[in-house]
């Protein structure tokens, strides 16, 4: 009985752990940046970049299905909806 499948392109465990920790630190820094930014449009752009970093995090944890969902929703759909809402509210203010 084979416990695991060995593929020739596997990454050493130490390298993968270092990559995961690095991406976790980047995600934490990105979340802090999103919270600290005060201008709305810049905050939405930072949120989109944060969504990309989350997708990269999910990819490093070997969850490609969650990665694709995060790319679709967190990095594309949500920022577009927020930018449209900001544009609509700005038109009403004028």
Residues of the chain with pLDDT under 70: 1-9, 93-94
Residue 8 confidence (pLDDT): 63
Q: How many CB atoms lie within 10 A of CB 50?
A: 22
8 A C-beta contact, residue 33 and residue 52: no
Distance CA 5, CA 70 (A): 27
Q: What is the dihedral of CA 52, 57, 58, 64, to 10 degrees?
A: 70
Chain segment 73-87, per-residue pLDDT in tens: 999 999 999 999 999
Phi-psi label, residue 4: left if phi above 0, alpha if psi -120 to 50, beta otherwise: beta
Residue 15 confidence (pLDDT): 87
């Amino acid at each position: 009985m084979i416990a695991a499948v060995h593929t020739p392109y596997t990454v050493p465990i130490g390298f993968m752990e270092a990559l995961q920790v690095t991406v976790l630190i980047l995600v934490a820094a990105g979340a802090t940046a999103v919270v600290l930014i005060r201008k709305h449009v810049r905050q939405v752009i930072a949120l989109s970049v944060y969504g990309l970093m989350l997708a990269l995090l999910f990819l490093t944890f070997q969850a490609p299905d969650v990665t694709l969902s995060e790319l679709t929703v967190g990095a594309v759909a949500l920022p577009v909806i927020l930018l449209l809402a900001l544009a609509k509210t700005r038109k009403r203010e004028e």
